[in-house]
Amino acid sequence: MRNLPPSFGGLLDQPYRWPTKGDRLLRKTDDWDTGVDFSKDGISRHVHIWDGYMSAGEALVEDCRRNRQERHFMIYPILFAYRHAIELAMKWILTMYGSYGAKDIAHHDLWQLWKLCREVIDAAAGDGDGSTDTVESIIKEMHDLDKSALAFRYGIDKNNNPPKLPEGLYDLENIRDVMTGVGHFFDGTDGMLSDLAGAGP
């Protein structure tokens, strides 16, 4: 057992991982089955981060199914992960298929990003099955919950007030189900726009 300050005496009997001399956050490995590496180029990195946050939201919901008491704590990282994923999805569409520079989209306002994104989508294909309208309503709902990407990250705002979030119980499985659909919408939109861009004039 490692030496702990007297104030931590109650932890001595617990199987907690404690900081150890020589710990480093990043440690090299040759094990391709467990090791990870960072994407070398910005385009791949953007896609990996987008997909990673979407997958993280889903994984956290799944964890709450196994550990039901966790859901009251996990809801914040779950919603932040999903919010960040759709922000990155829209920025991808605008960067790859719109005529917007980095300065035009260097903010976290989901509704403003969506309005630009919708212009790109409508110009390319319109909304034949109504899915774009559905996604728009979900993005507006997420934007209204968290207008500045802070409400799910901090307990208080810059004025020391708690962010205003709706009261009552909400269906966690529904959040995952709806966000899975939104994720598929952006995956499909990316594929469609890529095909159209590749077709040329």
pLDDT digits 0-9 by tens, 52-83: 999 999 999 999 999 999 999 999 999 999 99
One-letter amino acid of 43: I
Between CA 93 and CA 163, with CA 85 as vertex, the angle to 5 degrees is: 125
Domain definitions of the chain by residue range: 40-195
Q: Classify residue 160 as left (phi > 0), alpha (psi -120 to 50) or beta.
A: left
Report the Cα–Cα distance between both ends of the chain, in Å, rounded: 70
* Continuous H helices in the chain: 42-66, 71-97, 110-124, 131-145, 172-199
Dump pLDDT digits (tens) for 15-38: 788 899 999 999 999 999 999 999
Considering the entire predicted model, what is its pTM?
Answer: 0.87
